[in-house]
Amino acid sequence: MRLPRFARNTLLVLAGIVVLWAAGTGVSLVFLPPVKPLADPRASVDITVRDWHGKEHPFVVGPKNPYWMSISAVPSSLKKAVIAAEDANFYTHEGVDYEAIREAIKTDIQKGRFVRGGSTITQQLAKNLFLSREKSVSRKIKEYVLARRIDDRLSKSRILELYLNVVELGPMVYGVGHASRYYFRKPATDLTVRESAFLASMLPGPKVYDPYRNLGRVVRRSDRILRRMVAAHMITEEEYRAALAEEPNVEGLSSKVEKTMASPPPGEMLQPPDSGAGIEPQPGGPPAGQGR
């Protein structure tokens, strides 16, 4: 059956758009930045991040950053909490977790919008360092390619080191070294298991899991992370019970709450109470204009 001319022309236009998009994406992949320089732990590079008001700021990735932590200095409890919260298969996948992607696609189709990204720690690192916040197919393709390259050229410990030092954990608070001093007024080397889970609980995005506006929500998510950790034998039952009994000592939070409430991020809405459901990472507020 021959299609009407209008239908044929429409299909041709759509096909042309798809070809142009594919060509543009292909060209952009050719010009993706190299990842090999990231393998050098002595190197420092400058990227750009945005504060919660959209203003851009320089940010140093590397040992020239005063808050920088080598992976050997990061406490085991913090590394385990982050992996339990964000990427349980981190040490076994090759930068991309295809099962997580399938589950994310299923969830997104059911919800009719982008709810879960299925991103691994490696993919989040690629986005943090090189890509924008844009939610698009072309950006996800670039993220996929960069994550595979990063996993191929960097060790898992180096990938985790970079991720822990660039992830956003508050208003212009990037990296666990800064976050530990910001929230707990002590170096990250002294974090307890509970405090480690507290920081990991904010990784879906500090604007969603915001201790300024809903400390209880962050604590409840940290409880779920602790349950994951003990279920995965990352911590013992004794460590689990001790962590649950500990109240996070977030010194100075009251003054920070008052300051944040007086000048909240533009367009930020109060979040509904946490439902207590399972941990499902959602897109956070990564560094932008960088080429997460």
pLDDT of residue 268: 39
**Does residue 4 form part of some domain?**
no
Mean pLDDT of 216-229: 94
Q: How confident is the model at residue 263 (pLDDT cuts 50, 70, 90)?
A: low
- Between 104 and 213, the higher pLDDT residue: 213
Q: Tell me how far apart the alpha carbons of residues 91 and 99 are, in angstroms, rounded to a whole number.
A: 15
Q: Tell me how far apart the alpha carbons of residues 68 and 176 are, in angstroms, rounded to a whole number.
A: 8
pLDDT of residue 253: 62
- Between 260 and 119, the higher pLDDT residue: 119
DSSP conformational letter for 46: E
Which residues, including other chains, have CB under 8 Å from residue 65's CB and lie 6 or more apart? 44, 59, 165, 175
pLDDT of residue 286: 36
Distance between terminal CA atoms of the chain? Answer: 48
Q: Tell me how far apart the alpha carbons of residues 199 and 175 are, in angstroms, rounded to a whole number.
A: 10
**Does residue 7 form part of some domain?**
no
Mean pLDDT of 238-252: 86
**Does residue 272 form part of some domain?**
no
pLDDT of residue 112: 67
**Does residue 80 form part of some domain?**
yes
**Does residue 25 form part of some domain?**
no
pLDDT, tens digit, 9 for 90 and up, residues 74-92: 999 999 999 999 999 999 9
Q: Tell me how far apart the alpha carbons of residues 205 and 217 are, in angstroms, rounded to a whole number.
A: 13
Mean pLDDT of 185-192: 94
pLDDT of residue 27: 43
**Does residue 6 form part of some domain?**
no
pLDDT of residue 48: 86
- Between 173 and 28, the higher pLDDT residue: 173
pLDDT, tens digit, 9 for 90 and up, residues 11-25: 555 555 544 434 444
Q: Of the ranges 14-18, 161-165, 218-222, which is most confident?
A: 161-165
CB 83 within 8 A of CB 100: no
| Mean pLDDT, the chain, whole residue set | 78
**Does residue 220 form part of some domain?**
yes
The residues with which 47 forms a beta bridge, in sequence order, are 59
Domain count, the chain: 1
Q: How confident is the model at residue 207 (pLDDT cuts 50, 70, 90)?
A: confident
Q: Tell me how far apart the alpha carbons of residues 122 and 95 are, in angstroms, rounded to a whole number.
A: 5
Q: How confident is the model at residue 273 (pLDDT cuts 50, 70, 90)?
A: very low
Q: How confident is the model at residue 285 (pLDDT cuts 50, 70, 90)?
A: very low
**Does residue 26 form part of some domain?**
no
pLDDT of residue 55: 86
- Between 200 and 3, the higher pLDDT residue: 200
Range of the domain at 85: 36-262
- Tokens 């990250």 label which residue? 188
- pLDDT above 80 for 63: yes
Residue 196, domain CATH: 1.10.3810.10
